[in-house]
């Protein structure tokens, strides 16, 4: 089994360190790591360190750092604009997209979104997405922590501006003639994928995104749920870009 990963604000520079706080509590009390066991530390920005537990305290571990590494940011930044979905489907999408390698997740208040993030509710909902991405990144042993953009969510105009600044942008649509598996991709830069809510992307939104430079693409002959479409599209891109 791979060594568990714990996120820290910054990697220790000395040869010894203490892992405390919520991560230390989880390591010592929940996972019950013991002296001699190995773990990974990550700062979420590419930096990692391998450490061995030397002592276990109450909600904390004493560590000896055995090696350090840094994973460079990929040449392509994969951004998924995720239409707000009902219930837990949004969080399920965030979890799975993080595991397969998304770099930025943008909550989108689409015209056909049943759920609306307003006021305190929006702040809490966005917080759940951030927490879900964090835990999924740890589970997947990712050196880079995905960013959840938006404040707390972006509207269609903001998404169009994001598309206009990207190296390439694709809107997933079941009636598109072009397939993502064969679509032309840039050599580097930001690639934006737009995933609509349960009701799909409205015609006016499609027009706004096309004007900003996005192309509509499909994945296959079947229609996927909003919670799985982004995961499937990311998997295609991960394979095509050599991440997998």
Q: What is the pLDDT of residues 83-121, one digit of tens each?
A: 998 888 999 999 999 999 999 999 999 999 988 898 888
CATH number at 139 reads 3.40.1280.10
Domain that holds residue 35: 5-70
Q: What is the pLDDT of residues 31-85, one digit of tens each?
A: 999 999 999 999 999 999 999 999 999 999 999 999 999 999 999 999 999 999 8
Do 188 and 126 sit in the same domain of this protein? Answer: yes
CATH number at 25 reads 2.40.240.20
- Res 2 pLDDT > 90: no
Do 23 and 138 sit in the same domain of this protein? Answer: no
CB 193 within 8 A of CB 100: no
The rounded distance, in Å, linking the Cα atoms of 130 and 127 is: 5
The rounded distance, in Å, linking the Cα atoms of 186 and 170 is: 12
Burial class (CB in 10 A: 0-12, 13-18, 19+), 187: exposed
Residues facing residue 65 across a β-bridge: 51
The helix or strand, by DSSP H or E, that contains position 51, with its residue range, turns out to be strand 47-57
Residues above pLDDT 70, as percent of the chain: 100
Do 81 and 172 sit in the same domain of this protein? Answer: yes
Do 218 and 188 sit in the same domain of this protein? Answer: yes
Do 118 and 198 sit in the same domain of this protein? Answer: yes
């Amino acid at each position: 089994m791979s060594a568990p990963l714990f996120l820290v604000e910054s990697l220790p520079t000395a040869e010894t360190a203490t892992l405390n706080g919520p991560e230390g509590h989880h390591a010592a009390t929940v996972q019950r790591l013991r002296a001699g066991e190995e773990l990974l530390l990550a700062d979420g920005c590419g930096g990692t360190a391998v450490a061995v537990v030397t002592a276990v305290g109450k909600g904390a571990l004493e560590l000896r750092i055995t090696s350090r590494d840094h994973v460079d940011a990929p040449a392509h930044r994969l951004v998924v604009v995720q239409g707000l979905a009902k219930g837990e489907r949004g969080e399920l999408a965030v979890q799975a997209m993080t595991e397969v390698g998304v770099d930025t997740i943008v909550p989108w208040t689409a015209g056909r979104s049943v759920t609306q993030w307003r006021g305190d509710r929006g702040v809490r909902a966005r917080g759940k997405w951030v927490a879900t991405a964090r835990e999924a990144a740890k589970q997947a042993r990712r050196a880079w922590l995905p960013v959840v953009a938006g404040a707390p969510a972006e509207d269609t105009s903001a998404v169009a501006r994001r598309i206009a600044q990207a190296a390439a942008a694709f809107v997933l649509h079941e009636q598109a003639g072009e397939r993502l598996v064969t679509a032309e991709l840039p050599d580097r830069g930001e690639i934006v994928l737009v995933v609509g809510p349960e009701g799909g992307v409205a015609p006016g939104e499609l027009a706004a995104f096309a004007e900003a430079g996005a192309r509509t693409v499909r994945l296959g002959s079947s229609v996927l749920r909003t919670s799985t479409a982004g995961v499937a599209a990311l998997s295609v891109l991960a394979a095509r870009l050599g991440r997998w």
